[in-house]
């Protein structure tokens, strides 16, 4: 439960920073407004397992956008946790911005194969397959 403990500690820091910075609060609130609509549809995950798989041994930091980043040095993958909404994503830093997030198996989610045919994945489906809700401590 190491990653969960570190995540929880940093969430408190982000929330404290939000209370003291109105511009930062507005920015985060706007970003979360869209995510709130869909978070109930996201698969729940154990953040310890996600970090162990994609960013082992990492020490989380808070970036300038208030996101908690777990990244192993010299890795092209990082785990990005949204402190204020309780979500996590897996980001491939080698991919260009826009479709740089992966599923829980580390797969790119640009296309999907159905009935033997490949089609592009619409943005809404992409978002659902690459956003995950962080389980609460009592759910782990």
The arithmetic mean of pLDDT across residues 85-93, rounded, is 94
Task: Check residues 70 and 40 and name the one with the higher pLDDT.
Answer: 70
With bands split at pLDDT 50, 70 and 90, how would you rate the model's confidence at 73?
Answer: very high
> Residue 65: is its pLDDT beyond 90?
no
Task: Check residues 34 and 80 and name the one with the higher pLDDT.
Answer: 80
pLDDT, tens digit, 9 for 90 and up, residues 13-41: 988 888 888 888 887 887 787 777 888 89
Task: Check residues 42 and 140 and name the one with the higher pLDDT.
Answer: 42
Beta-strand (E) ranges in 31-86? 43-45, 61-62, 67-71, 77-82
Mean of pLDDT over the chain: 89
What is each CA distance from 126 to 35, 53, 112, 131, in whole angstroms? 13, 21, 10, 9
Token pair, residue 50, equals: 């996600």
């Amino acid at each position: 439960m190491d990653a969960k403990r570190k995540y929880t500690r940093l969430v408190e820091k982000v929330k404290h920073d939000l209370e003291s910075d109105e511009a930062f609060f507005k920015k985060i609130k706007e970003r979360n407004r869209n995510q709130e609509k869909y978070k109930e549809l996201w698969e729940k995950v154990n953040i310890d397992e996600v970090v162990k798989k994609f960013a082992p041994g990492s020490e989380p930091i808070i970036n300038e956008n208030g996101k908690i980043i777990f990244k192993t040095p010299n890795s092209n993958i990082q785990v990005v946790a949204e402190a204020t909404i309780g979500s996590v994503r897996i980001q491939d830093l080698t991919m260009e911005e826009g479709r740089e997030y992966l599923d829980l198996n580390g797969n790119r989610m640009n296309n999907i194969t159905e009935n033997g045919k490949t089609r592009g994945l619409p943005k809404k489906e992409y978002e659902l397959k690459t956003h995950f809700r962080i389980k609460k401590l009592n759910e782990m």
